[in-house]
Amino acid sequence: MPKEEIINLALRRGLFYPAAEIYPNSPSGFWDFGPDGETIRRKIVEFWRNELVEKEHFVEIYGAQILPEAVFKASGHLDSFNDPIVQCNKCKSLNRADKIIADVTKGIVPESMSTPELDSLIKKHNVKCPKCKSDQLDKVKTFNMMMKVNIGATGDLTSYLRPETCQSIFLDFARVYKTSRQTLPLGIAQAGASFRNEIAPRNTLLRERELGQMEIEIFFDPDKINDFEKFDDVKDYKLNLMLLKDGKVSKVKCSDAVKKKIVSGKLVAYYLARVQQLYERYGIPTEKIRFRELDDDERAFYAKETWDFEIETDLGWIELIANNYRTDYDLKGHSAGSKQDLSVVENGKKFMPHVFEISAGIDRTFYVLLDNAFKKEKRGPEERSFLDLNPRIAPYLVAVFPLVKKDGIKEKAEELYQLLNSYEFDSYYDEKGSIGKRYARVDEIGVPYVITVDYDTMKDGTVTLRERNSMEQKRVKIDTLPELLWKLHLGKTTIKEI
Ligand SMILES: [Zn+2]
């Protein structure tokens, strides 16, 4: 759906909105999530945890958001986590050099391009200031995107807000390896906030200064990248790969991707398959999914192989996940920086584990799921909009409405709401306004089922159960509801089958 409609829906229903919005001049790129938005966001993470972290026997940690300077010296971020910026000498506005060049040339400007190379591109294509159209652009400079914080009373313990959650995973690796009683491959996950001083935050949740990440680092023995038993589960599964050689998306069997050396090995193909399956289960149609192979000069400084997992939206293809083969870059860097040996010994062999990373954006996933789920339809004279969200991502599984507030119906509905809560169903209660308005509200936030308590309920203990997408209604007995809702929640039955 168009970006404006997503923003309108988000503001109208309080899903997300600018942080500190009641104050003028609050910096952009920071977002708050309202009650229903926060619930959807939390469930996106919970879904990732259930469907990927737990099923793959990964372990999860919680790391601090502020880390000392030494960490980022060793990780390379102090030197390399830069954006090229260029200032206009006339109006003084600052812009990302690669972006304003790309806007003129309509091509991709590689991340690894040096500042003199960018200067010459600006000259060659006669790139002007996007604000005042002047051609008096200064020389391109690099700008480090990390946010500095000064810790302690004297403020001399220079630290940074982490620019990616994964650094704690590398720092904690030796301890987690020892205490988790696992051998390699070992996957360590973390969900949390990262911070990047973006020059131009834009497109709401797609380019933020504070961003949610769900990251997994899989540590493995590089000699065993093809000695990976679980691979058989996905060998015939087809990945949507957009290869550098032809720029087209092809459906490639995992076994062929390994055989033809399109990927570094079975372990990589296996996890790419798990990523694609995860987003199919979130509810994204397979044809809107692709893995884009990145060229040498497009990849981040720590990656040897990268597949950007992208989903097609109204704004075009959006990158949701960077799948990076980081080799031993990080553990080697932190071994040298901390003077602690982070290598492992397995089967009598001492080595530095390699890392395959699945780095997903929480807020980008949120945006893309909304884009994909938003539906508008006309039924007779009425038009309605609803979110076709997976019931496990919807803010509530079920809403309970009393038809009217009198004759004991309100009390009966409240009793039913408490009953459903006691079964741990995420339930919502609303007694205000017409039934039609109440349906419209819960449709728009994606609640899949509504139960209405009416006069018949008082006589025979039945209620109306309505399904969001089809608007189909069934009359069911209250005492069958817990089991029925559980099956509907897990997709083990449908409203038609009741
Ligand atoms: Zn200007």
Q: Are residues 66 and 91 in the same domain?
A: no
Statement to judge: residues 188 and 303 lie in one domain: yes
Q: How many domains does the chain have?
A: 3
Output the six-digit token pair for 194.
């990262």
Order of strands across the sheet that contains 147-151:
66-68, 157-161, 147-151
Range(s) of the domain holding residue 290: 3-75+163-371
In terms of domains, do 67 and 94 share one?
no
Give a yes or no: residue 224 inside a domain.
Answer: yes
- DSSP letters of 43-62? HHHHHHIIIIIITTT-EE--
Same domain, 221 and 361: yes
CA of 96 to the centre of ligand 1 (A): 13
Give the Å distance between the CA of 271 and the centre of ligand 1: 46
> Are 72 and 337 contacting, i.e. CB atoms less than 8 angstroms apart?
no
Q: How far is the CA of 88 from the centre of ligand 1 (A)?
A: 5
353 and 481 inside one domain:
no
Query: Is 377 part of any domain?
Result: no
Asked whether residue 155 is assigned to any structural domain, the reply reads: no
CA of 104 to the centre of ligand 1 (A): 16
Contact 71, 167 (CB under 8 A): yes
Ligand 1 centroid from CA 234, angstroms: 53
Alpha-carbon distances, residue 77 vs 83, 163, 196, 427 (angstroms): 12, 8, 11, 44
The CATH number for 355's domain is 3.30.930.10
Tell me if 462 sits within 8 A of 455, measured CB to CB.
no
CA of 137 to the centre of ligand 1 (A): 8
Distance 191 CA to ligand 1 centre (A): 40
| One domain for residues 48 and 109 | no
Tell which of 324, 355, 371 closes a domain.
371
Q: Residue 302 Cα, ligand 1 centroid: separation in angstroms?
A: 35
Q: Is residue 413 part of a domain?
A: yes
User: Is 355 in the same domain as 416?
Assistant: no
Tell me the residues surrounding ligand 1 (ion) with CB < 5 Å.
Answer: 88, 90-91, 129, 131-132, 134
- Find the 286 Cα to ligand 1 centroid distance in Å: 43
CATH code of the domain containing 476:
3.40.50.800
pLDDT in tens, the chain (498 residues): 788 999 999 999 999 999 999 999 999 999 999 999 999 999 999 999 999 999 999 999 999 999 999 999 999 999 989 889 999 999 999 999 998 999 999 887 877 788 999 999 999 999 999 999 999 999 999 999 999 999 999 988 999 999 999 999 999 999 999 998 889 999 999 999 999 999 888 899 999 999 999 999 999 999 999 999 999 999 999 999 999 999 999 999 999 999 999 999 999 999 999 999 999 999 999 999 999 999 988 888 889 999 999 999 999 999 999 999 999 999 999 999 999 999 999 999 999 999 999 999 999 999 999 999 999 999 888 889 999 999 999 999 999 999 999 999 999 999 999 999 999 999 999 999 999 999 999 999 999 999 999 999 999 999 999 999 999 999 999 999 999 999 999 889 999 998
- How far is ligand 1, taken at its centre, from the CA of residue 316, in Å? 28
Q: Are residues 473 and 325 in the same domain?
A: no
24 and 106 part of one domain: no
Cα 94 to ligand 1 centroid, rounded to whole Å: 8
Cβ(66)–Cβ(160) below 8 Å:
yes
264 and 215, same structural domain?
yes
Q: Which residue reads 């051609």 in tokens?
A: 135
Please check whether residues 11 and 109 belong to one and the same domain: no
Residues 97 and 135 placed together within one structural domain of the fold: yes
